[in-house]
Amino acid sequence: MDKTFIGVRNLAAGMGVSEKTVYRMLNDNQLPFAVKIGGQWRFRKDAVENWLASQTHEESAPGKTDYEITVARALAHGTVLYRIHGNNRDEVLSSLLGAIPHHPGFDEQKIRLSILLRESMASSCLAGVACMATSPEHPVYTEKSLIILAFLEEAANFKALDRKAAQAVFLILSANAGEQAILETRLRRLLMELRFIDDILRQPGRIELQQLLNDWENKLLPGPKQ
């Protein structure tokens, strides 16, 4: 039995996270290969190895970083979604990923698990806006960096530290670690501005959104023309 199953400590070590994170993921039903044996959580070793391998497949190899990438450009590569349904974070994320036009190589399940792994450590939602991305421990990269902006049909509980329900979600899907770091830094700077958040939560149309992002990035993060 010991050769077939591993415990929480070994799973946490293999994932590069704390045991508390594993328990949070168990509470959120994010580890489908988990079973209880004798009142303790156990995990099939082969299922764990297959899952970890799937998270670090060849698409995790970073490409050349575009240091001039901006939030506005990434949104232009992505899309804007309105009236996304879900009563909580997990349901909203499933609805959001299901609504994205998929391209060859887009693995919805890998992306979802990687995002939830990161969210299980601390919610990315503040002031009603979530800023989601895949976990750096188990990255999943896309062919081109893009941002999805999704507006929720109804505010949902994302377990935010400020206890404010989420009304909108920025989802960063990057081509490599460098562009993910740049986009996260730029977006979090924008989200420090309450007026920017107010502009976003008005749910303007895509054209107006692109102009808003151009204007705010030029104002707060001067650099290359958008």
Given pLDDT bands bounded at 50, 70 and 90, which one contains residue 36?
Answer: confident
Single pTM value for the model:
0.74
Confidence bin at 54 (pLDDT 50/70/90)? low
> 160: which DSSP letter?
-
- % of the chain surpassing 90 pLDDT: 55
Q: How confident is the model at residue 105 (pLDDT cuts 50, 70, 90)?
A: low
CB proximity list for 168: less than 8 A, separation 6 or greater: 128, 129, 130, 149, 150, 151, 152, 200, 201, 203
Between CA 195 and CA 201 the distance in angstroms is 10
Q: How far apart are CA 78 and CA 186, in angstroms?
A: 16
Q: Using DSSP, state whether 125 is helix, strand or coil.
A: coil
Asked if the model's pLDDT at residue 115 lies above 60, the reply is yes
- Cα–Cα distance between 196 and 27 in angstroms, integer? 34
pLDDT band per the 50, 70, 90 thresholds, residue 7: confident
Report d(CA 114, CA 193) in Å as an integer.
28
3-state secondary structure of 131: strand
- 145-178 in b/e form (b: 16+ CB < 10 A) is bbbbbbbbeeebbbebeeeeebbbbbbbbbbbeb
- What are the tens digits of pLDDT across the range 76-91? 999 999 999 999 999 9
Q: Which residues contact 2 (CB under 8 A, 6 or more apart)?
A: none
Statement: residue 51 has pLDDT above 80: no
